[in-house]
Chain A
Amino acid sequence: MEYILISTAVAGIVLFVAFFLHSAREAREEYPGTGVTRFEPGDFWSDAGRSASAALSGIFSSEDEQFIASEAGKQVNALFRRERKRLALRWIERQKREAAGIMSRHRDASRRAADLLPSNEVKLFVRYARLRLTFEFLAVSVWLVGPQRLRGLAEEANAVFHGMQNAKTLGGDN
């Protein structure tokens, strides 16, 4: 019995570490940090995050679905579903890469920081793990049922993502 428990615990830890390393590798490979437009404070496009949140409402909107159902035939309906699913999955992938990039940059900065607060680090990591799990669950759900019934979950994931971004901002570079 003990053997099974220990094996399960070890397998869990290995999976957790593998998950984390995979995220870190993704961040390095897919979010190199160069070539990404950085906006100066005060520039009008610096609130792009807010606009992207508004776009999220559009992608996961059930209002559009009702319009298409009432207005168009099967082909347009199929096009609409395909397009919305594609947009939703692309958005999820983008957010995952962005979150992995934040963690990667944060880890690099942490290595150089002299005044790390372990509690903040743990909080950020837990938030990141929760975010990854939420995005994975959301991606599977979008793939299975389409995005129109998942707006609440998407908004929650987006809120956690922005919370992570803000935590990073408030915590400075470390």
Chain B
Amino acid sequence: MNRVLPADAWNAYEDFRTRTLSRIPSALERLIYIASTRDYNSGVYQHEGLAGRFGAEAAASALEYAHWEVFQAVSLLSLRRLTEELCKYMDSSREVPSAFLNAWQKLEPYRVAIPLRVDPTIAELFNSNVKIALAVLRHRLAERPDPPQAALLPPSPAPQSPLPFRS
């Protein structure tokens, strides 16, 4: 028995961790996937598969906990590791690197990956580290620009997320 979640939420968390999160290769992708299960308006996490098996409340608690846990892990990565993670994520997005970096540096979509209840120091460290990691990738790109073929490719017609569908 754990001390952080009620039993049903813990079971939902274990199920989510073993069946879904374990299939996502990098911590940053896991973070973005979990954040995407949160409703922007209410802040409530929703996952039909988990809710069907364990109930909506347990599923939401499990996802909130998983989000918090993964966010802590990503925020405390060294800059070297975070840059690698971001590079992998950029590759998996199949976007042209310069387009990806433009979007991430201007729109800062990573800010929506921050859990609602989190220590402000950790949240600031996360934002700052992603900002620096993006600058490192931009610097690498400037030294090795996109190949002309890739730059001429039309934009992808739909998001090509490597992440599994919600069960």
Contacts and interface: CB of A to CB of B under 8 A. Distances in A.
A42 B79 contact: no
10 contacts: A42-B3, A45-B118, A58-B75, A58-B129, A67-B80, A71-B140, A72-B139, A76-B139, A80-B79, A94-B121
Interface of A: 37, 42-45, 48-49, 51-52, 54-59, 61, 63-64, 67-68, 71-73, 75-76, 79-80, 83-84, 86-87, 90-91, 94
B128 A51 contact: no
Interface residues of B, number: 29
A106 B75 CA distance: 33
Nearest to B123: A55
Interface of B: 3-5, 65, 68-69, 72, 75-76, 78-80, 83, 117-122, 124-125, 128-129, 131-132, 135-136, 139-140
Nearest to A64: B79
Contact of B132 (A44, A79, A90): A79
B4 A42 contact: yes
A80 B136 CA distance: 10
A150 B125 CA distance: 17
Nearest to B119: A48
B67 to A, nearest CB: 11
Given A37-B117, A44-B65, A71-B136, A51 B131 contact: no
Nearest to A63: B78
A51 B119 contact: yes
Given A44-B4, A45-B68, A61-B78, A75 B139 contact: yes
The 3 closest A-B pairs by CB, nearest first: A44-B4, A48-B119, A64-B79
A56 B68 contact: no
A87 B132 contact: no
Contacts of A54: 72, 76
B136 A64 contact: no
Nearest to A66: B80
Contacts of B119: 45, 48-49, 51-52, 55
